[in-house]
Amino acid sequence: MSRAVVFREYGGPEVLHVIDVEAPTPGPGQLRVRVKAAGIQPFDCLFRSGAAQQWVPATFPQRLGNELAGVVDALGEGVTAFPVGTEVLGWAMLGSIADHVVVSAHEVVAKPAAMSWAEAGALSASGQTASTAWERLGLREGETVLVHAAAGGVGSFAVQLARASGAHVIGTASERNHDYVRSLGATPVRYGDGLVERIRAAAPRGVDAALVAVASDEALYASLDVVRDKNRIGTVAFHPLASQLGVARLSTDRSAARLSALTALYADGRLRISIQHSYRFDQAAEAHRVIEDGHVRGKIVFVA
Protein backbone atom coordinates (compact mmCIF):
# COMPACT_ATOMS: atom_id res chain seq x y z
CA MET A 1 0.00 0.00 0.00
CA SER A 2 0.89 3.64 -0.34
CA ARG A 3 -0.34 6.96 1.05
CA ALA A 4 -1.48 10.14 -0.69
CA VAL A 5 -2.66 13.57 0.44
CA VAL A 6 -6.10 14.34 -1.04
CA PHE A 7 -9.17 16.53 -0.66
CA ARG A 8 -12.74 15.41 -1.40
CA GLU A 9 -14.30 18.87 -1.56
CA TYR A 10 -13.14 22.44 -1.98
CA GLY A 11 -12.50 24.31 1.22
CA GLY A 12 -9.96 25.39 3.81
CA PRO A 13 -6.85 23.46 4.89
CA GLU A 14 -9.01 21.21 7.05
CA VAL A 15 -10.33 19.38 3.94
CA LEU A 16 -6.92 17.76 3.41
CA HIS A 17 -6.58 14.10 4.39
CA VAL A 18 -4.10 11.27 4.07
CA ILE A 19 -5.58 8.14 2.49
CA ASP A 20 -4.26 4.67 1.75
CA VAL A 21 -4.06 3.78 -1.94
CA GLU A 22 -2.61 1.01 -4.06
CA ALA A 23 0.96 1.71 -5.14
CA PRO A 24 0.80 2.53 -8.88
CA THR A 25 2.49 0.40 -11.54
CA PRO A 26 4.63 2.12 -14.18
CA GLY A 27 3.70 1.60 -17.82
CA PRO A 28 5.95 1.74 -20.90
CA GLY A 29 8.35 4.68 -20.73
CA GLN A 30 7.51 5.34 -17.09
CA LEU A 31 9.18 4.77 -13.74
CA ARG A 32 7.94 4.77 -10.17
CA VAL A 33 9.50 6.99 -7.53
CA ARG A 34 9.42 6.25 -3.81
CA VAL A 35 8.96 9.85 -2.71
CA LYS A 36 11.29 11.25 -0.08
CA ALA A 37 10.20 14.91 -0.33
CA ALA A 38 7.59 16.95 -2.18
CA GLY A 39 7.40 20.73 -2.39
CA ILE A 40 4.36 22.81 -1.50
CA GLN A 41 3.32 25.83 -3.57
CA PRO A 42 0.77 28.63 -3.24
CA PHE A 43 -1.05 27.11 -6.22
CA ASP A 44 -1.75 24.00 -4.13
CA CYS A 45 -3.72 26.17 -1.70
CA LEU A 46 -5.49 28.03 -4.49
CA PHE A 47 -6.44 24.73 -6.12
CA ARG A 48 -7.65 23.19 -2.85
CA SER A 49 -9.81 26.22 -2.06
CA GLY A 50 -11.61 26.08 -5.40
CA ALA A 51 -10.33 29.48 -6.51
CA ALA A 52 -8.55 27.91 -9.49
CA GLN A 53 -11.35 25.63 -10.66
CA GLN A 54 -12.12 27.78 -13.71
CA TRP A 55 -8.62 26.97 -14.96
CA VAL A 56 -8.05 23.53 -13.42
CA PRO A 57 -11.13 21.71 -12.10
CA ALA A 58 -10.61 19.05 -9.45
CA THR A 59 -11.57 15.39 -9.79
CA PHE A 60 -12.41 14.08 -6.32
CA PRO A 61 -10.73 12.61 -4.41
CA GLN A 62 -8.13 15.02 -5.75
CA ARG A 63 -4.40 14.74 -5.16
CA LEU A 64 -1.99 17.66 -4.90
CA GLY A 65 1.58 18.67 -5.60
CA ASN A 66 3.72 19.42 -8.65
CA GLU A 67 7.30 18.63 -7.58
CA LEU A 68 9.00 15.67 -5.94
CA ALA A 69 12.23 13.88 -5.19
CA GLY A 70 12.88 10.27 -4.29
CA VAL A 71 14.32 6.91 -5.25
CA VAL A 72 13.36 4.94 -8.36
CA ASP A 73 11.86 1.65 -7.18
CA ALA A 74 10.16 0.21 -10.28
CA LEU A 75 10.59 0.53 -14.05
CA GLY A 76 8.22 0.28 -16.98
CA GLU A 77 9.11 -1.26 -20.30
CA GLY A 78 11.84 0.55 -22.22
CA VAL A 79 13.27 2.63 -19.35
CA THR A 80 17.04 2.28 -19.07
CA ALA A 81 18.32 5.73 -18.09
CA PHE A 82 17.34 5.47 -14.41
CA PRO A 83 17.98 2.04 -12.86
CA VAL A 84 16.16 1.02 -9.70
CA GLY A 85 17.86 2.76 -6.80
CA THR A 86 18.63 5.98 -8.69
CA GLU A 87 18.00 9.17 -6.70
CA VAL A 88 15.97 11.61 -8.81
CA LEU A 89 13.94 14.80 -8.71
CA GLY A 90 11.22 15.94 -11.05
CA TRP A 91 7.54 16.67 -11.34
CA ALA A 92 4.14 15.00 -11.49
CA MET A 93 1.31 17.44 -12.10
CA LEU A 94 -1.31 17.33 -9.34
CA GLY A 95 -0.03 14.11 -7.87
CA SER A 96 3.39 14.54 -6.30
CA ILE A 97 2.38 14.41 -2.63
CA ALA A 98 2.21 10.65 -2.18
CA ASP A 99 4.47 7.80 -1.11
CA HIS A 100 4.73 6.43 -4.66
CA VAL A 101 4.39 8.42 -7.87
CA VAL A 102 4.60 7.22 -11.47
CA VAL A 103 6.18 9.65 -13.92
CA SER A 104 7.55 9.62 -17.44
CA ALA A 105 11.27 9.01 -17.64
CA HIS A 106 11.44 12.47 -19.28
CA GLU A 107 10.04 14.14 -16.14
CA VAL A 108 12.95 13.40 -13.81
CA VAL A 109 16.68 14.08 -13.64
CA ALA A 110 19.41 12.68 -11.40
CA LYS A 111 19.66 14.30 -7.96
CA PRO A 112 23.08 15.84 -7.18
CA ALA A 113 24.73 13.89 -4.39
CA ALA A 114 25.20 16.99 -2.23
CA MET A 115 21.54 18.06 -2.53
CA SER A 116 19.38 17.15 0.47
CA TRP A 117 16.02 15.47 -0.04
CA ALA A 118 14.17 18.57 1.15
CA GLU A 119 16.09 20.76 -1.31
CA ALA A 120 15.51 18.31 -4.15
CA GLY A 121 11.79 18.12 -3.45
CA ALA A 122 11.46 21.91 -3.53
CA LEU A 123 13.35 22.76 -6.73
CA SER A 124 11.46 21.52 -9.76
CA ALA A 125 8.24 23.55 -9.89
CA SER A 126 9.33 26.92 -8.51
CA GLY A 127 12.77 26.75 -10.09
CA GLN A 128 11.42 25.96 -13.54
CA THR A 129 8.75 28.63 -13.19
CA ALA A 130 11.40 31.27 -12.48
CA SER A 131 13.60 30.02 -15.32
CA THR A 132 10.70 30.07 -17.79
CA ALA A 133 9.67 33.56 -16.70
CA TRP A 134 13.08 35.08 -17.45
CA GLU A 135 13.19 33.29 -20.77
CA ARG A 136 9.79 34.70 -21.75
CA LEU A 137 10.71 38.18 -20.54
CA GLY A 138 13.93 38.17 -22.54
CA LEU A 139 16.37 38.69 -19.67
CA ARG A 140 19.77 39.92 -20.86
CA GLU A 141 23.13 40.43 -19.19
CA GLY A 142 23.63 43.87 -17.73
CA GLU A 143 19.94 44.68 -17.38
CA THR A 144 18.17 45.85 -14.24
CA VAL A 145 15.18 43.72 -13.28
CA LEU A 146 12.55 43.85 -10.57
CA VAL A 147 11.29 40.80 -8.67
CA HIS A 148 8.19 41.20 -6.51
CA ALA A 149 7.95 38.80 -3.53
CA ALA A 150 11.68 38.21 -3.82
CA ALA A 151 11.83 36.19 -0.58
CA GLY A 152 9.19 33.65 -1.67
CA GLY A 153 9.60 30.34 -3.47
CA VAL A 154 9.57 31.55 -7.09
CA GLY A 155 11.03 34.91 -6.13
CA SER A 156 14.08 33.40 -4.42
CA PHE A 157 14.91 31.40 -7.52
CA ALA A 158 14.14 34.32 -9.85
CA VAL A 159 16.60 36.59 -8.03
CA GLN A 160 19.39 34.03 -8.20
CA LEU A 161 18.80 33.09 -11.83
CA ALA A 162 18.81 36.75 -12.86
CA ARG A 163 22.05 37.30 -10.97
CA ALA A 164 23.58 34.21 -12.58
CA SER A 165 22.69 35.76 -15.97
CA GLY A 166 24.52 38.95 -15.12
CA ALA A 167 21.55 41.17 -14.28
CA HIS A 168 21.20 43.66 -11.45
CA VAL A 169 18.18 42.73 -9.33
CA ILE A 170 15.84 44.78 -7.16
CA GLY A 171 13.59 42.68 -4.93
CA THR A 172 10.51 43.76 -3.04
CA ALA A 173 10.08 42.14 0.36
CA SER A 174 8.97 42.87 3.90
CA GLU A 175 11.72 44.43 6.00
CA ARG A 176 12.23 41.27 8.05
CA ASN A 177 13.36 39.54 4.82
CA HIS A 178 15.74 42.24 3.58
CA ASP A 179 18.89 40.53 4.82
CA TYR A 180 17.75 37.31 3.17
CA VAL A 181 17.07 39.09 -0.15
CA ARG A 182 20.52 40.72 0.02
CA SER A 183 22.07 37.29 0.61
CA LEU A 184 20.52 36.13 -2.66
CA GLY A 185 22.16 39.00 -4.51
CA ALA A 186 19.34 41.55 -4.82
CA THR A 187 18.83 45.10 -3.57
CA PRO A 188 15.79 44.92 -1.26
CA VAL A 189 13.03 47.52 -1.17
CA ARG A 190 10.06 47.43 1.16
CA TYR A 191 6.39 47.36 0.26
CA GLY A 192 3.96 50.15 1.10
CA ASP A 193 3.55 53.85 0.39
CA GLY A 194 6.42 55.24 -1.65
CA LEU A 195 7.26 51.90 -3.30
CA VAL A 196 7.69 53.37 -6.79
CA GLU A 197 10.01 56.10 -5.49
CA ARG A 198 12.13 53.53 -3.62
CA ILE A 199 12.41 51.36 -6.73
CA ARG A 200 13.49 54.34 -8.84
CA ALA A 201 16.06 55.32 -6.23
CA ALA A 202 17.50 51.78 -6.39
CA ALA A 203 17.48 51.83 -10.21
CA PRO A 204 18.48 55.33 -11.35
CA ARG A 205 18.91 54.12 -14.95
CA GLY A 206 15.46 52.52 -14.98
CA VAL A 207 14.03 48.99 -14.82
CA ASP A 208 14.13 46.77 -17.91
CA ALA A 209 11.80 43.93 -16.84
CA ALA A 210 9.68 42.88 -13.88
CA LEU A 211 8.47 39.54 -12.56
CA VAL A 212 5.47 39.68 -10.23
CA ALA A 213 5.53 36.53 -8.10
CA VAL A 214 2.57 37.49 -5.90
CA ALA A 215 -1.11 38.35 -6.39
CA SER A 216 -0.73 42.04 -5.51
CA ASP A 217 -2.35 45.15 -6.94
CA GLU A 218 0.52 47.22 -5.57
CA ALA A 219 3.16 45.11 -7.34
CA LEU A 220 1.35 45.26 -10.68
CA TYR A 221 0.80 49.03 -10.62
CA ALA A 222 4.36 49.69 -9.46
CA SER A 223 5.76 47.53 -12.27
CA LEU A 224 3.74 49.45 -14.85
CA ASP A 225 5.10 52.70 -13.43
CA VAL A 226 8.79 51.76 -13.57
CA VAL A 227 9.26 49.35 -16.49
CA ARG A 228 9.77 50.99 -19.88
CA ASP A 229 8.19 48.23 -21.98
CA LYS A 230 4.88 46.82 -20.70
CA ASN A 231 5.54 43.61 -22.67
CA ARG A 232 8.46 42.89 -20.36
CA ILE A 233 6.27 42.63 -17.27
CA GLY A 234 4.92 39.20 -16.36
CA THR A 235 3.24 37.51 -13.43
CA VAL A 236 3.15 33.91 -12.25
CA ALA A 237 0.26 34.59 -9.87
CA PHE A 238 -3.41 33.97 -10.60
CA HIS A 239 -4.72 37.53 -10.28
CA PRO A 240 -7.62 38.93 -12.36
CA LEU A 241 -6.18 42.45 -12.28
CA ALA A 242 -3.17 41.34 -14.32
CA SER A 243 -5.26 40.57 -17.40
CA GLN A 244 -7.25 43.78 -16.94
CA LEU A 245 -3.97 45.74 -16.99
CA GLY A 246 -2.57 43.79 -19.92
CA VAL A 247 0.15 42.09 -17.88
CA ALA A 248 0.96 38.64 -19.23
CA ARG A 249 0.48 35.61 -17.01
CA LEU A 250 3.50 33.35 -17.46
CA SER A 251 3.02 29.58 -17.35
CA THR A 252 5.83 27.10 -16.74
CA ASP A 253 7.61 25.29 -19.54
CA ARG A 254 8.92 22.19 -17.77
CA SER A 255 11.58 19.99 -19.33
CA ALA A 256 14.38 17.70 -18.23
CA ALA A 257 16.86 20.05 -19.93
CA ARG A 258 15.60 23.04 -17.93
CA LEU A 259 15.68 21.11 -14.65
CA SER A 260 19.17 19.77 -15.40
CA ALA A 261 20.39 23.33 -15.93
CA LEU A 262 19.06 24.23 -12.48
CA THR A 263 20.74 21.25 -10.81
CA ALA A 264 24.00 22.21 -12.56
CA LEU A 265 23.77 25.72 -11.07
CA TYR A 266 23.19 24.15 -7.66
CA ALA A 267 26.20 21.84 -8.08
CA ASP A 268 28.32 24.87 -9.05
CA GLY A 269 27.27 26.70 -5.87
CA ARG A 270 25.34 29.36 -7.82
CA LEU A 271 21.83 28.36 -6.74
CA ARG A 272 20.66 28.11 -3.16
CA ILE A 273 17.45 26.33 -2.14
CA SER A 274 16.06 27.79 1.08
CA ILE A 275 13.78 25.56 3.14
CA GLN A 276 11.81 27.29 5.88
CA HIS A 277 10.24 24.15 7.33
CA SER A 278 9.45 20.51 6.58
CA TYR A 279 6.15 18.74 7.34
CA ARG A 280 4.87 15.17 7.42
CA PHE A 281 1.93 14.18 5.21
CA ASP A 282 -0.37 14.14 8.25
CA GLN A 283 0.52 17.81 8.84
CA ALA A 284 -0.82 18.88 5.43
CA ALA A 285 -3.44 21.24 6.87
CA GLU A 286 -0.83 23.02 8.99
CA ALA A 287 1.50 23.35 5.99
CA HIS A 288 -1.25 24.93 3.90
CA ARG A 289 -2.09 27.38 6.69
CA VAL A 290 1.53 28.51 6.75
CA ILE A 291 1.51 29.03 2.95
CA GLU A 292 -1.75 30.99 3.14
CA ASP A 293 -0.33 33.21 5.87
CA GLY A 294 1.86 34.62 3.10
CA HIS A 295 5.15 34.97 4.96
CA VAL A 296 7.11 31.94 3.75
CA ARG A 297 10.81 32.57 3.14
CA GLY A 298 11.94 30.26 0.37
CA LYS A 299 10.04 26.96 0.32
CA ILE A 300 8.30 24.53 2.64
CA VAL A 301 8.16 20.81 1.86
CA PHE A 302 6.63 17.51 2.82
CA VAL A 303 9.10 14.82 3.83
CA ALA A 304 8.21 11.14 3.95
Q: Do domains 2-125+253-303 and 126-249 have the same CATH topology?
A: no
- Banded model confidence at residue 205, pLDDT cuts 50, 70, 90: very high
pLDDT at 73 over 90: yes
Mean predicted confidence (pLDDT) in 255-274: 98
Query: What is the reported pLDDT for 55?
Result: 86
Mean predicted confidence (pLDDT) in 27-48: 97
Reported as a single tens digit per residue, the pLDDT across 96-147 is: 999 999 999 999 999 999 999 999 999 999 999 999 999 999 999 999 999 9
Residues paired with 199 in a beta bridge: none
Mean predicted confidence (pLDDT) in 33-43: 96
The residue extents of the domains of the chain are: 2-125+253-303, 126-249
- Banded model confidence at residue 295, pLDDT cuts 50, 70, 90: confident
Reported as a single tens digit per residue, the pLDDT across 182-191 is: 999 999 999 9
The CATH H-level (homologous superfamily) assignment of domain 2-125+253-303 is Medium-chain alcohol dehydrogenases, catalytic domain (3.90.180.10)
Q: For a pLDDT cut of 70, what percent of the chain falls above it?
A: 100
Reported as a single tens digit per residue, the pLDDT across 52-68 is: 998 899 999 999 999 99
Task: Return the CATH number of the domain spanning residue range 126-249.
Answer: 3.40.50.720
Mean predicted confidence (pLDDT) in 44-53: 95
Reported as a single tens digit per residue, the pLDDT across 160-170 is: 999 999 999 99
Query: What is the reported pLDDT for 294?
Result: 84
pLDDT at 21 over 90: yes
- Banded model confidence at residue 1, pLDDT cuts 50, 70, 90: confident
- Banded model confidence at residue 3, pLDDT cuts 50, 70, 90: very high
Residue 249 has a CB neighbour count (10 Å cut-off) of: 14
Between residues 208 and 1, the one the model is more confident about = 208
The structure's pTM equals 0.96
